[in-house]
Structure 1
Amino acid sequence: MSKKDIFGDDVDSGKSFEDFEALFAESSAGGLKTRVSVGDQIRGEILSIGKEESFVSTGTPNDGMIFTKDLMDENKEVKYHVGDMIDVVVLSTKGGEIRLAKKGALNASTDSLEDAYDMELPVTGTVTEAVNGGLRVNIQGKTAFCPISQIDSRFVSDVSEYVGRKFDFLITQFDKRNIVVSRRKLLDLQKAEFEGAFMQKHEASAILEGRIMRLEKFGAFVELEQGVEGLVHLSELSWSRVHSPQEVVSVGQTVTVKLLKIEEVDGKLKISLSMKQADGDGNPWNSVPAKFPVGTVVNGKVEKKESYGLFVNIAPGITGLLPKSKWRDHVDGQQFENKKRGDDIAVQIDEIKFEDKKISLGVPGAGEDHSWRAHQPASGSGFGSLGDALKGLTIKPKK
């Protein structure tokens, strides 16, 4: 067979054949792969996306097939586009067809535990019993061990709640004598994937709905989407001063939150949320000047007592300070001294610093006109201005 028979009429010199030989040598040397094996991890380009099947480049002359459902998110929508790069593993190469699965995908399966270990594919197992340090798990008729620290992404004190339940695991150790599995590692991989999708969809200031998952002394954790949680700090739960999250929310409650910030801290995604800012018109300070003009007497509750005064809550989210210096010399000063947290108290608005969100309070009536004091006599006089006025009066005797 001639070179013309191989390359066609356009080949009229030996140079093209030499180029082909160079390319073949390059592929044999590793520049271009000629085959892949089960378990190979590949980063390939998505070449086409079909209704049922999609194709990904494998770095070999043959493209790999991946089920389109492997490319879908939790909303059953394809989150990739043609040209995107994706990490996949080779499931099989039977009959010349290369079957692929997205790395870490739950629907990627294999009948061989050894292949699942090599390809880092999830396997389904049932927790059979709790033992010292962890749990025994039945996977395809074989007994595996899951350390207690690897059964969940959160701290677990009571492992009995997992016994009898079925979960997906990753095999972290595999030999003839021992099979060790981790559910936590799989959850972490899924969490990273969910968080990545969340970051692409949402930006700071977005208003979202979520569910309270757990409460800590510093705030409440809210699940925004599957695998994605954010924290509402104690100070962001309400405009009013809050001492514990239980005062405002409860586990399982659906809440509306504002996305304040998304940042990565020590390799983990940190999502900061606010409940009080979710309502754009909810800041009670916006109504302070009209609702509490200077001189107004209002009823409030003692929120906190300090050596220098009383913090008094006069409306949800509005707290002012009644300095001790304003009641110390007052005729009713002792009643203010005896006040404690939760007590009712009447106060007067003395000053508002709107920009600083501060209100100075006073004792009711203390701001009234006391200009008469300026007319008191100098020290040593026994009558004062009233005595002077009486001097000019003529008293007529009774008949």
Structure 2
Amino acid sequence: MVEDMNQVEVKNLEVGSKVTGTVTKVEEKQVLVSIEGSKLDGIIPISELSSLHVEKATDVVAEGQELQLKVTKVEDELLVLSKKAVDADLAWEDLQKKFESKEVFEAEIKDVVKGGLVVDLGVRGFVPASLVENHFVDDFADYKGRTLTFKVVELEKEKNRVILSHRAVVEEEMKNKKHQVLDSIETGQVLEGTVQRITDFGAFVDIGGVDGLVHISQLSYEHVTKPSEVVTEGQKVQVKVLSVDRDNERISLSIKETLPGPWSMVSEKLSAGSITEGVVKRLVSFGAFVEVLPGVEGLVHISQISNKHIGTPHEVLSEGEKVQVKVLDINENEQRISLSIRELEEPEPQEDYSQYSHSEESGGFQLGEMIGDKLKKLKK
């Protein structure tokens, strides 16, 4: 009669039937379970425990654990069961919802393989190397065991294909943060930032999730040939916001305007009457502009260039030439300095005409007398 009852149970439990089982013994390559509502025992091969490769059954289940299982084979007094089949059914349903809603969820990295990472979601999820981070990663070894956030970016149940992306989550977070920063900053603000990239035309500075450009002309009051002369990648800098273009997500910044102006210390370094060296920066019709301190130019008026008469400054000076100048006057409020080159030159020697004039006592003559005699003859 017992045999008849077993046959009835076997007929009721077909391939594909779902049952609840309790783990009674965990062996190296299989798990034994008792089936709820049935006197038949069940066995789960190690290959049916997980969608991922399992070395030891004890890595997945333990004695006394209750499991939801699916019948894969019916034998006379034994059921062959699968845990991973039930997990997969539930996983595909859950993944479809996540894929449609673009939900962000957490999962643990179970393995690092060639080309990317593997995640156990009830089915095998794969994260290609290009979708792990928004920057290049040389070695993923330390990612195993880490928990990351993901989005499902590709889903094909027929091909058992689940592609995940952590990069998509990171980029969306950065985009949201960027919009928040763009909405919060205003022209004129002074902020701390980090130099991210250096180019020929300036430096890009991160000011809290968004990069702004410091043009080469805004790096320093001094002339800058290469931005790398002034800043380095990773350097912390103070920047002033010059403009914000929220539509095009562009921010113009200045390091120069957070620094003391070149004229702020002029009176401590120069005074009327002092002599200093400068560089001719510009020549104009009325004189020459000479840089006497970094970013500070003074005017040498054409009348103060030379003791000799000159028509244009170009006759005696050239741009880039180093010259000695004397400070005539400083007006710090108006940022004006008057300079002179002439006052440092030797005075022109005066022609001595004394040889042309002799006194009567010496028996000589005067030029006026000679001319006077000639005028008298002409009148006659």
The structure with the larger Rg is 2
Higher relative contact order (CA 8 A, sep 6+): 2
Q: Structure 2-normalised TM-score? A: 0.49
TM-score (norm 1): 0.47
